[in-house]
Amino acid sequence: MPDLTDPVEERLARFRAERLLPALYRERVPLEVSAWEAPGEPVPFAEAVDAGFSRFTPFEVGSAYGPAWATTWFRATGTVPDGWDDVEGTAVEVVVDLGFSDTEPGFQAEGLVWTAAGQILKAVEPMNQAVPLDAASPARSGAQVEVLVEAASNPHVLEHMTFVPTHLGSRDTAGGEPLYQLRRLELGLRDVAVWELDRDLFTLAGLLLELPPETQRRAEVRDALDRVVDVVDPQDVSGTAAAGRELLRTVLDKPAHASAHQLYAVGHAHIDSAWLWPVRETIRKVARTFANVCDLIEREEQFVFAASSAQQYAWLQEHYPDLFERVRGHVRAGRFVPVGGMWVESDTNLPGGEALARQFVLGKGFFSSELGVDTQEVWLPDSFGYSGALPQIMAAAGAKWFLTQKISWNDSNVMPHSTFRWEGIDGTQVFTHFPPVDTYNSELSAAELARAEHNFTEKAVANRSLVPFGHGDGGGGPTREMIAAARRTASLEGSPSVRLASPVEFFTDAQAELPDAPVWSGELYLEFHRGTYTSQARTKRGNRRSEHLLREAELWAATAAVRTGAAYPYEALQAAWRTVCLQQFHDILPGTSISWVYADAEAGYARVAASTGEVIDDALRALLGSGTSTASANAGPYAVDGVPALAVTALPTPFGPVEAQPDGDGFVLENDLVRVRVDANGLITSILDLVAERELVPEGRAAGLLQLHRDVPNRWDAWDIDRTYQRTTTDLVEAVSVEVVEGGALRVERRFGDSSLVQTISLAPDAARIDLGFTVDWHERQKLLKLAFPLDVHADHASSEIQFGHLDRPTHANTSWDSARFETVAHRWVHVGEPGYGVAVSNDSTYGHDITRKSAGVRGSTTNVRLSLLRAPLFPDPDADQGEHVLNVSVAVGAGIPEAVAEGYRRNLPLRVVEGVGVEPVEPLVTVDSPAIVVEAVKLAEDGSGDVVVRLYEAYGSRARGRLTAGFDVTGVVETDLLERPVDAAGLRAVEGPVAELELRPFQICTLRLSR
């Protein structure tokens, strides 16, 4: 078969590899190198040089260094050779190669370069190895050069994308052998003309491959590239590079067509706040990346850089204050642009409503107070799907625009829009853009620019898109080479036109160009990474528990402050929220990071539990005083067991437990509302609603059935659940023992594989509710454990709780979009029903579900509700989820949406028992007379004024009117946004004394500020 490779392409590739790149530096001279490996964790610059370099020992370039996760400080000294500063068209640079591979900056060794005086110059990484010398480190002939390189020998966990188990994710198991070899640490005299020629070739060679064949433009570009190889003398590349550039000028200077797609190029560096590295390394990645950006801003006019995540700026402020001030200066000048408005680039499926709101309260609050910026755009390029509640939350935080890219990863359906209005569950719409370049790590190559133009879906009515460029995921950011590419394609025939710009410029122009943008309604479901609803169950439980502990802590602390004058613990609460919000980052909470990250996360949740526990205890004892009584505190929005919502009373007299009774070869549990039959293997064979006279378990089926599946995704272990898991199912039907235990519950013990579990089954004495508890000692590998409830209910959709409301999803698979949602996310409850009857299944720590309807023959259809309890992926954490887990699930019989909402709160906010206190009840700070209007948070205002802030929402999906009554003297009530700034009233109709009249549309959030 003939070789169809274009000979010009081959010739050009060899020309660049053998002639051009070796000539980038006219001369190189080695520097004298010494080194010191910091023991243990990284140390600050001052500590590294504290002994006057006495700990540094001579180090030979070419030698190995750096065990996994270690830090090696290299000190390089030398003299700029005579005559270097007299060579026109050159630049003196320190050139560093820490043992880089040619690709993937941010996933291997990285270095931060300092002057001997402790000033950060910039970073060095695989695609960014040069450190220009200027006034901070003089480049004059004879000048002494001294720099220090803080080299991080981070292991390449993702090397070759093999997704096999790795020992590198923990310092304890990573080993002590050196990973890298210092290949270069020298002075180089860069030939600017040769470098510029190389950039010309990058742009034109890439363009050649994108131009249609047999066109005049392609022919002239091909001819110019062919002839440049002849013009540049291999014996004198430096002397003939300018001639080569002049030859190419004829094709580079031809302007773009008027109809060319317009790309707004925004500098960017997506930095995962933890992923294949721990949080402590992210702090250094931020410093390295921001240093690179500052250096580039100071050298390149018009370049604008956008960075999200207030947490990352806060780290910089704490650990690198001088660099933070440098960044602050560029922020003031509009060149370094904070975006996103969130504390981190959070997952949006799993955080609760108030937690997602606090992402903006913390993020926008930091940007405003520390940088003087009120961000307008929400920037989440890499989260794994986007909740239908997000548009309202974004708008309530004062944001106008939304950007993401990840939906392009869909495995089944292509999103029909690049630019559109996204409508949330309450009807709020936000102007949204999916960069059609299909990456947030663009290099501004011709292939990427062409892809952006090709993928842009609104071509008939618009012509603008945004391209985020810069090395990301592991950071690094834009390079001078990328800026050069942008300048060459500002107006170039055959290419989209590229404009260096800010996000605000793009969104302003795009919205003006497309005022009647198409609308997408509901969640932005990612048809991929469905395993993120379940992986790392301990972290998910820690998040759920922390969110509810913070609700309790703020409620009781605010109540104590108003009722007793106790000090409100602002700092403790903010620190806890910062931890929770950090750990909601889109690779931590979804369960897709290395084991080190999860060890840190568990420690973080333990700190949150300890600090909030102290706040709660202090507040309740301040309210109740000391004594010999026992009280019961209800932090939930609904009364529980006789205790009013948001109040404290004497411990209620409990109902007697329902005792399980032997029944044939099984057992029965029964109260006035429900009769439950359990067979000899601990399987629920009957749930009879005695009020409706209706059996819920289909004949021959079992509810509360545990099912084990093989779970081996094609690629992304911790991320994905592939549909193929459904082909292998093992029903765990055999029990080791089934017995009645104290309190009347049934205790079922099961063993399977290398694992075991204890399950309890109990019936509430006064409610139509079955409670199931699980303690699982889990030691499976690549398995998925599900809990199934087949129900004799004909449900055409399932309602799943999300933030500040719920989402209805079909139980059928009529379309490819329906079929792709074979695993979905829900928070505290799901509900299935038919007109007039339903069932709610609630949980205390589970997020992944699949809910399907299957034919039952002549009896109609059965709705199968399944919860995904545990997974066991091997990458990136080979020990993910191994060990003990505690989970709880409840089934509410004959329940509608109102009962489902109440059950979700009851399951997650149990009554808190406080011993050794007085007996006087504590009335709630606020009461609401409509059960559809839920109090989600009660706290004191962020500004320290002492005002009480109450966040409410409509929970049933219908319009609701109600009255909020304050239980304290109120001087005024205003409606605010999430940041507690007054807004035009949308839910607040009228105020009379302590009473606020409310009218909320379905799922509307309403924040009220009560002055006192």
The long-range contacts involving 451-455, CB below 8 angstroms and separated by at least 24 positions, are 452/261, 452/263, 452/496, 453/260, 453/261, 453/496, 455/418
> What kind and span of H or E run contains 454?
helix 446-455
Q: Which residues contact 281 (CB under 8 A, 6 or more apart)?
A: 69, 152, 154
For residues 743 and 763, give the distance between their C-alpha atoms in angstroms, rounded to a whole number. 11
Here the tokens at position 949 are: 């802030």
The 8-class DSSP code of residue 80 comes to P
- The single residue listed with the structure tokens 């700990």 is 55
Q: Which of 97, 382, 679, 844 is catalytic?
A: 382
Q: Cα–Cα distances in Å, from 459 out to 262, 382, 417, 506?
A: 11, 25, 10, 16
Cα gap 399→221, rounded to integer Å: 45
Question: Which DSSP helix (H) or strand (E) runs through 249?
Answer: helix 237-252
Between the alpha carbon of residue 282 and those of residues 107, 124, 160, the distances in Å are 12, 16, 22
CA distances from 721 to 49, 536, 537, 710, 821 (A): 49, 14, 15, 10, 11
Residue closest to 638 by CA, chosen among 871, 355, 934: 934
Can you tell me which residue has the tokens 């009233």?
985
Per the annotation, the verdict on 473 as an active-site residue is no
What residues have CB less than 8 Å from 1, skipping those under 6 apart?
Answer: none
Tell me the sheet residues that pair with 120: 114
Q: How far apart are CA 846 and CA 825, in angstroms?
A: 9
| DSSP 8-state secondary structure symbol assigned to residue 477 | B
Q: Which residues contact 153 (CB under 8 A, 6 or more apart)?
A: 65, 66, 67, 68, 69, 70, 71, 72, 109, 178, 179, 180
Which of 404, 408, 395, 268 shows the shortest CA–CA distance to 338?
Answer: 268
3-class DSSP state of 391: helix
Distance of CA 474 to the CA centre of its chain: 14
Helices (H), ranges, 102-236? 192-210, 216-231
Looking at the DSSP bridge assignments, the partners of residue 941 are: none
- H/E run at residue 808: strand 805-810
Question: In which element (H, E) is residue 868 found?
Answer: strand 861-871
- How far is the C-alpha of 105 from the C-alpha of 470, rounded, in Å? 10
- What is the CA angle 220-210-194, rounded to 5? 65
> Which residues in 171-316 belong to E strands, given as ranges?
180-181, 184-191, 262-268, 305-307
Cβ neighbors of 777 (< 8 A, separation 6 or more) are 755, 756, 757, 883, 884
DSSP state string for 946-994? --EEEEEEE-SSS-EEEEEEESS--SEEEEE-TTS-B---SSEEEEETT
**Which secondary structure element, helix H or strand E, spans residue 248, and what is its range?**
helix 237-252
Q: Token digits for 600?
A: 């840190």
| Gap between the Cα atoms of 671 and 667, Å rounded | 14
Q: What is the 3-state secondary structure (H, E, C) of 695-760?
A: ECCCCCCCECEEEEEECCCCCCCCCCCCHHHHHCEEECCCCCEEEECCCCCEEEEEEECCEEEEEE
Catalytic residues: 382
